[in-house]
């Protein structure tokens, strides 16, 4: 589906299933295609809305995002356009960073939270320098060059060649300008650690056991700072647990939605 938001930003998004609305925020440098298994296998359990974030997938041709708040604003405008007052929010990697931006902006819109393969801390100087170099690369050599550079760290070593090829295709199809803008936005994001202790909705922290970018030890630290949160380590998954091990990821998401449903019925 396509929508033009009041701000003029044009978003493509998937809207599948019925039940409690769940917003799925994809990882960098992918698109809503990351959620293909969830969108087909969970439609009888929940309503899943998965936007191509500004500058990715079918949401190209927009003014480049200047910060993660721009992506958060797009999500809030989409919720308003769809008449959704509250949603369960699931963000993977960059999607998790945007989830933190939404927690700062509009915590009342979030009824449940799944943070997958992400971190609350800001980038180190070394990571910021790497993001700047990658932004120069993608603008100079194109999206496929960037995808080939980052893909090895996104999946577990045992990931199939078919999955690697699919992810390479998704990332390569994204506009270079959108990828570069996201890199700069992520590099500028604030530290969100102080938000964790104040989260008061059902929360699940998910991480791939073989995630080298946001490793399980860091995810556990985040979980321990969030009151009454749940911690799920997915075996044989790297940084993209939702598509590498979808059955295990889906179970964590379904259990979170069930917990939100139970609370809402009290």
What is the dihedral sign for C-alpha 219, 84, 67, 193?
negative
Q: Is the Cα dihedral 188, 223, 126, 147 positive or negative?
A: negative
Across the chain, mean pLDDT equals 97
Residues 211-260: pLDDT tens digits?
A: 999 999 999 999 999 999 999 999 999 999 999 999 999 999 999 999 99
From the list 32, 35, 78, 34, the residue with the least C-alpha distance to 55 is 32
Average pLDDT of 113-122? Answer: 98
Span 1-11, average pLDDT: 98
What's this model's pTM, rounded to 2 decimal places?
Answer: 0.98
φ/ψ of 216, rounded to 5, equals -55, -35
Which residue in the block uniquely carries the two structure tokens 């059902």? 202
pLDDT bin (cut points 50, 70, 90) of residue 187 is: very high
Q: Where residue 184 falls among pLDDT bands split at 50, 70, 90?
A: very high
Query: In this predicted structure, what is the pLDDT of residue 104?
Result: 97
User: What is the Rg, in whole angstroms, of the alpha carbon atoms belonging to the chain?
Assistant: 17
> β-strand 2-4 against 21-25: which pairing, if any?
unpaired
Question: Residue 134 above 90 pLDDT?
Answer: yes
Phi and psi based region of residue 236 (left: phi greater than 0; alpha: psi -120 to 50; beta: remaining): left
Q: Above pLDDT 70, what percent of the chain?
A: 100
* pLDDT band of 156, cuts 50, 70, 90: very high
pLDDT at 90: 98
> Which pLDDT belongs to residue 171?
98
pLDDT digits (tens, 9 = 90+) for 73-88: 999 999 999 999 999 9
Return the exposure string of 159-194: e unless at least 16 CB atoms fall within 10 Å of the residue's CB, then b: beeeeeeebeebbbbbbbbbbbbbbbbbbebbebee
Residue 265 has pLDDT above 90, yes or no: no
36: exposed, middle or buried (C-beta count within 10 Å: 0-12, 13-18, 19+)?
A: middle
pLDDT digits (tens, 9 = 90+) for 19-58: 999 999 999 999 999 999 999 999 999 999 999 999 999 9
pLDDT reading at 266 higher than 90 = no
What domains appear along the chain, each with residue ranges and CATH number? Answer: 2-122+191-265 (3.40.50.1820)
Three-class secondary structure of residue 23 per DSSP: strand
Q: Determine the average pLDDT of the residues in 102-112.
A: 98
Which residue reads 């609350």 in tokens?
120
């Amino acid at each position: 589906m396509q929508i033009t938001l009041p701000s003029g930003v044009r978003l493509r998004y998937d809207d599948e299933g019925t039940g409690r609305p769940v917003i799925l925020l994809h990882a960098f440098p992918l698109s809503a295609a990351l959620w293909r298994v969830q969108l087909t296998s969970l439609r009888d359990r929940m309503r899943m809305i998965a936007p191509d974030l500004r500058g990715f997938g079918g949401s190209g041709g927009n003014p480049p995002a200047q910060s993660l708040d721009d992506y958060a604003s797009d999500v809030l405008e989409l919720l308003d356009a769809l008449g959704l007052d509250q949603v369960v929010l699931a963000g993977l990697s960059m999607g998790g960073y945007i989830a933190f931006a939404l927690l700062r902006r509009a915590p009342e819109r979030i009824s449940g939270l799944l943070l997958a393969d992400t971190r609350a801390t800001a980038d180190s100087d070394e990571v910021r320098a790497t993001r700047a170099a990658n932004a120069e690369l993608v603008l100079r050599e194109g999206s496929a060059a960037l995808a080939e550079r980052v893909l090895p760290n996104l999946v577990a070593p045992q990931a199939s060649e078919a999955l690697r090829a699919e992810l390479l295709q998704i990332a390569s199809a994204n506009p270079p300008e959108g990828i570069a803008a996201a890199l700069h936005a992520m590099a500028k994001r604030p530290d969100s650690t102080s938000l964790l202790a104040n989260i008061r909705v059902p929360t699940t922290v998910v991480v791939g056991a073989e995630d080298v970018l946001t490793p399980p030890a860091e995810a556990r630290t985040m979980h321990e700072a969030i009151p009454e949160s749940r911690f799920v380590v997915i075996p044989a998954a790297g940084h993209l647990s939702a598509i590498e091990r979808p059955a295990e990821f889906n179970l964590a998401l379904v259990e979170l939605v069930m917990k939100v449903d139970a609370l809402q019925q009290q």
